[in-house]
Each structure stands twice: as C-alpha cells, then as structure tokens.
A and B are shown apart, each in its own frame.
Chain A
Amino acid sequence: MLKKMKKCMAFLLILCMAVTATACGGNTDNSAAVNENTASSTDANKNTDTDTNTGSETDENAASGEELPRFKILFAYQQYEDKLGGEFKSAIQYLCDAYNCEAVFYESGSGDTAVGNLESVLTAGDIDGLISVGFDTARMEVASKYNVPVVLACGFPSVEAEVSGITSYDLFLGGVTDSDYRAGYRAMESLYEAGCRQVTYSGLSAGFAKSHDDRTKGVMDFLEANPDMILLADSYTMGKASEDIPTFNASFPEIEGMAFTSMSDALYNAIESEDLADGSVKIAGVDISSKTGEFFERGIQVWGCGGQYGTAMVSWAILYNYLIDGTRIISDTTTPIERDYLEITTYEEFEDFVKYVGVSLPVYDAEEIKELIHYFNPDITYEGYLSHAENYTLQDIIERHGDKIND
C-alpha cells in the first residue's frame, strides 16, 4: 500500500512541477514580480510580447519612461477568459508598460471570496493602486486597511447605502463607468424603431456583474415606457443564452426581435442554425464579435456597441494622477464619470470599429492619456475629463490617431 502511495505521489509531484514551471516560466509578468527566482526568464518574454502587442511602445519609454517612478497597479475583473477581459488586460498592460508601471491582474471573485481574494492579493505584493471592475464597501474597507487607493471602472453602485459606504473612504478616488443603463435602453429602442414589437431578452444572472444588471434595468424600463412592445420571454442563465434561442424560437414563432446583454459567436451561430437569419428577426446587443459585421451586412442586427475598455484606461489615468502627484480628479466621488459606448448601427461603422478599436493600438494611445494626467498637463480638470468622455466616438478615435493605424 505504501509503495503504491509513493508511486502516485511521485507521479503527481512531476505533474505539479510541470504546471508550476509553466506558471512561472511561460507566463505574464506578474508572477515575475512576486518570485524573483523566475524573474529573468519572464523578463525575457515580457519584452517579446509587449513588442508584439504595441508597435509604438518602445519610443514611449524613450520619451518619458525612464525617470518615471515605478508603480505597481492592481487590476481586478471577474474573469479574463471573455473578450472584454482580454481587452482590459492588454489595454492596462499597454499603459503600464508605457508609463514604467507594473500591472498585476487577478480574478476578483464574488461574495466573501471576493473580500478574501483582495486581502490575499494585497498581502502578497506592495500594491500602489487598485483599479476594480465593480466594487463594494467591504472591499473598500480592505483596501483602506492596506492603504491602497481605488478607482472603480465599469459598474458604479446604484444603491444609496453602498454609494455612501464606498465614498466615505478617503482612498476612494471615484469611478468611471459606461452608461450600461443607456446601452440596454438603446438596444430595445433600436429594435422598436426597426419595427419589432414582440421581443425576447437574454441577460446574465442578477448579481454576477453590475454592468449587466444595469443593462437589464434599461431594457425593462424601455419596455415599461412602451407598453406596445411585448417581452415574450427572458432568460438569465449564465452561458446558456445560445441554448435558449431554439427554445424561444420554437415556443414563440411570432418573435420579431431579440436583445442580448452580451453578443457572442455562439449566439450568432444559434440564430443561424435556427434559420432566424432570414431577416424575419432583428437582433440588438452589447459587445462586438467576429460575426457581428456579417449580421449587420445582412441587416439582421440593428444595433450593437462596444469599446468599454476605454473606460478602464481613463480609470487608470485617474489613479495615475493620484499616484504621481496626489492629484484628485474627481472631487465628488458619489457620481461617476459616465461614458457612452461606441454604438454601431451600420456595417460601415462596424468596419471602422474593427479597424480602430479592436486592434493592437488601444482607443487611447499613451500620448493621448498624457493629456489626462496633471503631472504632464497641469491644466487638466474634472470638466476636462467630462468633455473627454463626451466625445468618445469612433469619429473621435479616427481623428485622434487614425493615421497611426496602418491598413
């Protein structure tokens, strides 16, 4: 018996070592930060992958990088597996590389694990600042215990007690959020304009992510405002949206429109294979995926939006302001800076979106972010941020650095 145990222990140890090896070796920078023993190997491939992901990064460093102090910035998101997660990651990584900071990413988790995870992560490394997608008082308490300033990105709390709770902390620098409510509202509106009266809606389980809840609220409010639009069915099971489509279709042949809190190829495929793609049904939903263009072209999708990760970049700027010279951009932290989505209603817009938003160079490049930082641009103000948020449109992006993007 013991011999058997030894055997499988050995086997598992090997397995374990193999994984740890990949963990420390093959992987992004943060691991390097924590255990020096593997730093060398990771530094090597850090350079390589940053090279690949941003063309203009090196000269950034040359221009301003060297003398800047090195901050360690923590970014929190539920899961980096989805598209948005990836965008967040590369955008923040881009800025941190450009400004000689070090990015640490972690999965925030939910409930008390969220609190626990934050405690652990903050214990791990001397974190200088935290950007979190979705946040609450409990975690704010932890952050202040560890004396870490926090900027909230996407999904600002709506409940009064929560808001007063978070903002009562001195280290809370305020929040930047997308107008998720409006996004939900607009989705329905555009379906309505497209003549759909009988619709379905697929959301996400309440409480999984604030932004999705807000979108759902927007959807519901529009429905209330327009009683002649009927919600045939709705569903909120995580990851099952694509399986619901056939059900909806089978039980309600009269469907005219479908709205989704988050578009993905799975949904498009389901719509395709259910033969709903013949134009009888119009769709609208947040998030852009590879098939979106095709569906705009065929006039099936009437509305889409994306580009949230810009919001995270602005939050980064706010945090950086505080870190580098203590500037607080937002004086009244109870109201977030609200930024609209990049809305898409035509195929052309989609093409632009793919060209200028979904590429290696983020919606704001390092230079443009500089404008938002008091240290480099002393006359930047809260109002400045507001107006900056105002004109966040595709057009604006193209004007700003369209030329930098080579077709």
Chain B
Amino acid sequence: MKKRNWKRIIINTIISLIIPVGMFLIFAVLSKGRTATVKMFVTTFRQSIIPIIICWGLMLNMSVGMMNFSAGAMMLCAGILGGNLAQMTGTGIPGVLVFCLLVTLVEGAITGFLYNKMRVPCMVLTIGMMMIWESFPKLIFSSGVNLPSSMTLLARSPYCFILLGVMFVVFHMLYNKTAFGHNLRAIGNNQAIANSVGLDSDKIKFASFVFGAIFLGIAATLYVSERGELRNVQFMASMTIMMDGFMGMFLALFLSKYCNMSVAVIIGSFSMKMLSNGFVAIGLSARTRDIMQGLLLLVLLTISANAGVFERIKTNKAFAKSADDEYRKIQQTGKSIQ
C-alpha cells in the first residue's frame, strides 16, 4: 500500500514537472544559456508571484465553475484606492496592504451579493462589474496613484517571497484542509446533488468570492507597490492584468490531476512567465514573439490536455491483443473438440 503510493507520487511529480523543466531546457539551449542563469530564474519567479496569487484567487471561483472577469479591475481599483487612502492616512506600507485588502473584500462581497440576488452567470455579472470597478476610481482619483519609493518595499526581493509563502499556506489550508474547500469541490462537481443533500451553495459561493478577494487584495498590494504608480485604465483594459493569471490557471487545471492544486498553480503560472521571458532571451523580435508564443502555448496545452492518452491507447491495444489470443485458443479447442 505505502510502497505503491510512493511510486505514484514519484510518477506524478515527474509528470507535473515535465512541462517547466522541458521548457527550461529548450530555452536554455536556444538562448545559448542566457535563461539558465540564477538571475533569470529568480527574476522569472518574482515576476510570476502576482500571477500566481491572482490565479489562486480565481481558482476558488473556478472550482465552482465561476469565471471572474472582474478580477483585474478589482485589483486596479483596490490598488488606486488603497494606495491613495494609505497616503492620506499616512499609514505607510501596512496601510497599503490593509486598504487594498479592505477594498477587494468589499468588492468581492458586493459581487457575491449581486450574484446570489440576480442569479445570472458569473461570467455575465463580472463583465458588468469589471466596467464598474474599472471606472469607479476615476471618479475619485482621476490621476490614479503615485506611491513614494518608501512605500513600495513589499514588492522588493525578500518581502514579496514572504508574502507568496504566506499566501501559499493560506490557500493550501483553505483548499485542502477546511470544510469550505471540500464543500467548494462538492458543489463544483455536481451542484444539483450538492444542493439536494443540503449544502448551502449560496453561502459557499459568496464565501468563495470573499476568500478570492483576499488573494486579489494581496495581488493588488504587490501590483501597486511593484509599479509605484497606477493609472486609471480604459474600458476592458484591466483584462490584460489577469490574462497571464488566467493562462496559468488553465495549465494548473490540467496539472492538478497529478499534483496538488496549490502547487499546480505555481508550476502553471511559472511556466507561463518562463515562456514569455524565454522568447525575449532568445532574441526574437517582439512581433515574431507574439506569434511563437501563441503557437507554443497551444502545443503546451495540447500536451497537458492529452496527458495519459498514449498509455490509454497502449493498454487498450494490450487488452485487444490478449482478447485476440484467448479467442484464437477457444477457436482451436472448439475445432479440436469437433
């Protein structure tokens, strides 16, 4: 029992690491070692922190089959409001953190409330909310936010990793170790039954919005501190903020078959960043980069989507063969009897 488990674990780890490692090697070769430096690794990892955290936030909604398009806008709104409020109140770095969290929490709560009241698909609702969150800060702080360098510390090297670590623990616990996490999955897997056996899906979905908001709040904090300034964006522009989060999430969804979700997200988002950075290091021009990225991404997803397909075919073949053999035997014996 135990032994078999170990084997399984090893296999799974290998499968889930194929993509990042493979990509790393490919790029290392193509870029003549440029990507194989520690610096590159650290940079890529640091760049993927925000996507990872966003991704965790989205994942909570995603596992109930809800896609939150307003995530980027929520972050932007939080960043601008939070940053300004922190400066006004002179609460410094903790201020930024707290206010960003506060804003996203409120946003999450409102979205969740409307979702339960209106009973329209999350996708639809959040498109609307995106427009609101995008343009709301404009009415108050038309010129966005500018943070003094003293307040952007959180994005710097040790602290951002610490934050990541903390959020990792939080997500891992939330998703795997709490009743909430399991209720979430139950609803995600079959809501009709989950309801009929008495899971309060409204409550749980609302919670998923709020908990998701926590992650977005942290992401917003990092986002605003990393840039030190945020400008209000135009209609739907906030999508780009969370797009890499999205891409990572889909990869993670595939990987989660082989490793724990919380890790899968990290691998997924990291791979995505590696992809975009790798092409830069190779020295492709920006344009070809876009094209290549699209194609490689496709390859990547195809691989992960079809993981295990070949072994299935193989086992089927084996089964068919054995069947044939047996059949032939029976025939012969049948003949010999006659």
Contacts and interface: CB of A to CB of B under 8 A. Distances in A.
A–B direct touch, CB within 8 Å, in complex? yes
Interface of A: 4, 7-8, 11, 22, 26, 78-79, 81-83, 86, 107, 232-240, 242-244, 246-253, 264-266, 268-270, 272-273, 290
Contacts of B231: 81-82, 264
Contacts of A252: 34, 281
B46 A232 contact: no
Interface string B114-157: 10011100000000000000000011001110100100100110
Contact of A243 (B35, B47, B285): B47
Given A4-B119, A234-B285, A265-B229, A247 B47 contact: yes
B226 A269 contact: yes
Contacts of B118: 8
Interface stretch (B176-184, B213-221, B233-241, B309-317): B233-241
Given A8-B118, A251-B40, A269-B152, A233 B226 contact: no
For chain A, what secondary structure do more than half of its interface residues adopt (helix, strand, loop), or is it mixed?
helix
B229 A4 contact: no
Contacts of A237: 240, 286
B286 A246 contact: no
A250 B227 CA distance: 18
B77 to A, nearest CB: 14
B281 A251 contact: yes
Contacts of A79: 234
A4 B116 CA distance: 10
Nearest to B281: A251
B256 interface: no
Interface string B39-64: 11011101100000000000000000
Contacts of B240: 237-240
Contacts of A272: 149
Given A8-B114, A252-B34, A269-B226, A232 B285 contact: no
B170 interface: no
A22 B146 CA distance: 24
Measured as residues with beta carbon below 8 angstroms from the partner, the interface class of chain B is 35 or more
Contact of A266 (B228, B232, B277, B281): B228
B146 A4 contact: no
Given A8-B114, A233-B283, A249 B227 contact: no
Given A232-B283, A250-B277, A273-B152, 7 more contacts: A11-B117, A26-B139, A239-B237, A246-B43, A247-B276, A250-B40, A252-B34
B37 A250 contact: yes
Contacts of B149: 269, 272
A240 B43 CA distance: 15
B43 A250 contact: yes
Contacts of B39: 250, 253
B44 to A, nearest CB: 7
10 contacts: A86-B142, A86-B143, A107-B234, A234-B286, A239-B233, A247-B277, A251-B40, A265-B146, A265-B228, A273-B152
Given A26-B139, A247-B280, A81 B144 contact: yes
A249 B43 contact: yes
Contacts of A240: 240
B31 interface: yes
Contact of A81 (B34, B46, B232, B283): B232
A49 to B, nearest CB: 12
B286 A266 contact: no
Given A4-B117, A235-B280, A290-B146, A250 B44 contact: yes
A354 to B, nearest CB: 15
B233 A242 contact: no
A19 to B, nearest CB: 8
A247 B44 CA distance: 7
A111 B289 CA distance: 25
Q: Which 5 A-B residue pairs are closest in the complex by CB-CB distance?
A: A251-B281, A269-B228, A250-B43, A266-B227, A265-B229
A186 to B, nearest CB: 22
Contacts of B276: 247
Contacts of A273: 152, 155-156, 226
A236 B43 CA distance: 20
Given A107-B234, A233-B283, A246 B46 contact: yes
Interface in B260-305: 276-277, 280-281, 283, 285-286, 289
A272 B227 CA distance: 11
Given A81-B144, A238-B240, A269-B227, A247 B232 contact: no
Nearest to B146: A265
A268 B227 CA distance: 9
Interface centre among A86, A250, A273 (most CB of B within 10 A): A250
Contacts of A250: 37, 39-40, 42-44, 277, 281
A8 B119 CA distance: 10
Interface in B206-262: 226-229, 231-234, 237, 240
Contacts of B146: 265, 290
A237 B237 CA distance: 12
A240 B51 CA distance: 14
Nearest to A244: B280
Contacts of B31: 251
Interface centre among B37, B47, B231 (most CB of A within 10 A): B231
Contacts of A4: 117, 119
B275 to A, nearest CB: 12
Contacts of B289: 235
B229 A266 contact: yes
B280 A246 contact: no
A233 B152 contact: no
Contact of B233 (A81, A86, A253, A268): A81
B156 to A, nearest CB: 6
Contacts of B40: 250-251
Interface in B142-194: 142-144, 146, 149, 152, 155-156
Contacts of A246: 43, 46-47
Nearest to A274: B43
Nearest to B117: A8
